[in-house]
Structure 1
Amino acid sequence: MPTVVLLVLAAVAALVDWWAVARQWVRTRYLSKPAVLALLVAAACVADLGDAKAWVVAALALGLLGDVALLAPAGPVDAPPGTAFLAGLGAFLLGHVAWILAFLTRDSHGVAFVAGLVAALAVGAFALGPVLASARRSAGLPFAAIVAGYAVVLVVAAAFAVGTGREATTVGGLLFLLSDATLARERFVRPVRGGPVSVIVSYHLAQALMLIGLVHAF
């Protein structure tokens, strides 16, 4: 029951944050955005996650750190990434690694894993080329290599999420991939119509669904 209550509260905070993104209420987001992941971290702390618990809590906590870092303005598309953006990127990279380790505590279904890998690679192939080209122009080859490494970890995380064979985790893993791909195009290529809202909606749903998919009681 405490897990369900915290998930409901996280959903309410998410709705507030989505509305704040749509209306560009920057000050509201300083509260609403961190609140969503903070409540998901609390839900993970009280949920029955078995061997995955430590990794899930770590993944969500790193997501919270990344969210706080990315509250800073992103700057123009062609501008080099700032310290806050790099800190957020690092936190999310470690968060994806933690999710992979959480997924590895569950049985992996080979066919599902391969299907997830193919889907993740298809999304990555579509989004990565222009993103890497723009990242190299704005910040040089070393940063483009970091972005490429992040993309590889993201693809692997999505594949393992699908490989668990759990519907919620599968959808969550693919939504996280879609959210990050859209965010990367927004940041490095060009703004996407409705991009900020689609990024935050898919991101919050991804984090919540991956958590839900790993809870034994669900």
Structure 2
Amino acid sequence: MINTYTALLLAVLTIPALVVADYRQWRPGRYLCKPLAALAFLALAWSLGALHSSYGQWLLAGLVACMAGDLLLMFERQSAFMAGLGAFLVGHLLYIVAFCQLPGTVGALWVSALPVAILVFASWRWLAPHVPGDMRLAVRLYIAVIAAMLLAASTTWGNPAALWILPGAVGFALSDLAVARQQFVLSERRNGLWGTPLYFVSQLLLAASVSSV
């Protein structure tokens, strides 16, 4: 069975390799490294005892959904993108359920509401001119679910796991902007230079939160 150190080593080796493969548009490297990088955050959560708590079980389910999204987004087709979007939406929803398993403070919602609202407004205003009419509803729904995930993450404030959850949730949300820019605004290799490592590091942080529960 893979242990924590092996999972982290797998992440350290595959994430930079994936960034390079994507930048050079080397598909074999992408098809090899992306599943392995996703496997790393699954293995990390598993090795830290995700199955031993309701929080860990829901989080692990969210990580599985995100891995499915990763695999689908490897294929540059509209149908694959929509399926991947759906998988990530499910991942966000499962994270919301996971965060709600932890004791925290509802008062943190009031603190986080304004920055989350600003992020939602700015993201949609930036994307709206570029999103095709047949995808506007789906993108709006996805942004709304991201907002709900961030608000749910904020309620863990005061819990030891929040040290991992909050940066992981914020990083995951911001990494989605790189995907949106690539898909709707401007398709260029630089999007992956920051979006890919931010995404995988964020998932590793969320996986690591299991250790604090």
TM-score by length of 2: 0.87
Question: Are residues 155 and 171 of structure 1, via their aligned partners in 2, closer, same or farther at CA, if it must alter by over 3 Å?
Answer: same
Equivalent in the alignment of 1:116: 112
Structure with more contact order per residue of length (Cα contacts < 8 Å, sep ≥ 6): 2
Match of 1:73 in 2: 76
Question: Within the alignment, does 1:181 sit opposite 2:181 as a pair?
Answer: no
RMSD of the alignment, in Å? 2.1
Equivalent residue number for residue 67 of structure 2: 64
Cα distance in 2, alignment partners of residues 207 and 201 from structure 1: 10
Give the corresponding residue for 1:150. 142
Contact 1:6–1:40 (8 Å) recurs in 2: yes
Unmatched runs of 5 consecutive residues or more in structure 2: none
Structure 2 CA distance, aligned partners of 1:126 and 1:73?
A: 27
Q: 1:78 maps to what in 2?
A: none
**How big is the shift at 1:186?**
2.5
| Equivalence for 1:37 | 38
Give the secondary-structure state (helix, strand or coil) at the position aligned to 2:212: coil
Give, in angstroms, the shift of residue 192 of structure 1: 6.5
Aligned partners of 1:23 and 1:186: how far apart in 2?
A: 15
1:52 aligned residue: 55
Q: How does 1:159-170 map to 2 (within 5 A)?
A: 159-165=151-157, 166-170=162-166
* Percent identity of paired positions between Structure 1 and Structure 2: 26
Query: After TM superposition, which residue ranges in structure 1, 4 or more long, deviate above 4 angstroms?
Result: none
CA deviations on 1:164-187 (whole Å, 9 max, x unpaired) are: 121221111111111112321221
- Which ranges in structure 1 are unaligned for 5 or more consecutive residues? 75-81
8 Å CA contact 1:58–1:98 kept in 2: the answer is: yes
CA distance in 2, matches of 1:117, 1:214: 25
**Is the 1:132–1:148 Cα contact (8 Å) retained in structure 2?**
no
Asked if 1:9 corresponds to 2:10, the answer is yes
Q: Distance in 2 between matches of 1:193 and 1:108?
A: 40
How many residue pairs match? The answer is 206
